[in-house]
Amino acid sequence: MKPANKLCLIAASLLMLGTGTAMAGTVAAVKANNVVLVHGSWADGSSWSEVITRLQAAGLHVTAVQNPLTLVADDVAATNRVLDQQDGPTVLVGHSYAGTVVSDAGVNPKVSSLVYVAARAPDANEDFVALSAKFPTMPVRSGVEDHDGYLTLSQDAFLKYFAADVPHAKALELYAVQQPITKTLFNGRTVNAAWHTKPSWYAVSANDQTINPDLERFLAKRMNATTIELPSSHLSLVSHAKEITDLILEASGRQP
């Protein structure tokens, strides 16, 4: 990376530091009774369990998508099938890779707002691999294993880097249900970038060892998202479930 470009990225990241509260000012969220949760790579819908129970206790109708993790288009289609079943305004939430999915599926007219949790957030047809390469590679990549074109995380990398602040027993449970991804999944591009037109919220994981936290800050700032920052690993939806729930409640037009 050229020094000037690197300085620009660092400067942009520094703007996001401090209290970790919204960079976008006050956003008037549409009142929504539905929440659709989309899981990321090396996970399944059960990764949202800590958040689901809290949202249900708050009176929201919650559905977790089960992504095939084969192609971006396949995951967007799976998400749209769930969105089409909702009976009104819906908060669409994506963790990690699923930020790509919600950015594309978020143009669905049922979606009233978007929430990104330590997530990718590509622009339409953007080469996100090239964008990510502008930031240091995170250590979780050392544990990626290729099995006949499908990628998984080794147990060591999953526990040490992916779920670093999750209690050991819970992390082992999540490791047991991790879903493999196709080798080319991350190369897929989106057709849409719903964050240009839908109110957006973003939770940065400051201790993330899967997606670079500075990349997360850059993405949140670029989309002008209402942003919080948590002292969390990549799995803030598990280790900081209350804070993630509160952010979703805010995006649904409710007080946490």
Whether 142 maps to a domain, the answer reads yes
**Where is pLDDT greater, at 26 or 73?**
73
State both tokens at 98: 């699923």
The reported pLDDT for the residue numbered 27 is 63
Summarize the confidence of residues 143-171 as an average pLDDT.
98
Query: How far from 193 is each of 78, 187, 199, 204, CA to CA, in Å?
Result: 17, 16, 12, 19
Query: Whole-model pTM above 0.85?
Result: yes
Whether 47 maps to a domain, the answer reads yes
Residues 6+ away with beta carbon under 8 Å from 54: 241, 242, 245
User: What is the domain count for the chain?
Assistant: 1
State both tokens at 70: 């084969």
**Residue 7 confidence class, pLDDT cut points 50, 70, 90:** very low
Whether 44 maps to a domain, the answer reads yes
> What's the CATH number where 49 sits?
3.40.50.1820
What is the spatial distance between Cα 99 and Cα 122, in angstroms, rounded to a whole number? 8
Whether 118 maps to a domain, the answer reads yes
Whether 256 maps to a domain, the answer reads no
Task: Return mean pLDDT, the chain.
Answer: 91
Place of tokens 């994506």: 94
Residues 6+ away with beta carbon under 8 Å from 20: 204, 227, 228, 229, 230
Whether 77 maps to a domain, the answer reads yes
Whether 227 maps to a domain, the answer reads yes
Whether 231 maps to a domain, the answer reads yes
Q: Judge contact between 249 and 58, C-beta under 8 A.
A: yes
**Residue 256 confidence class, pLDDT cut points 50, 70, 90:** confident
Per-residue pLDDT tens digits for 113-138: 999 999 999 999 999 999 999 999 99
Structural domain including 200 reads 3-251
What is the spatial distance between Cα 90 and Cα 109, in angstroms, rounded to a whole number? 9
The reported pLDDT for the residue numbered 21 is 40
Secondary structure of 16-47 as H, E, C letters = CCCCCCCCCCCCCCCCCCEEEEECCCCCCHHH
Q: DSSP H helical segments within 133-182, as ranges?
A: 155-157, 168-176
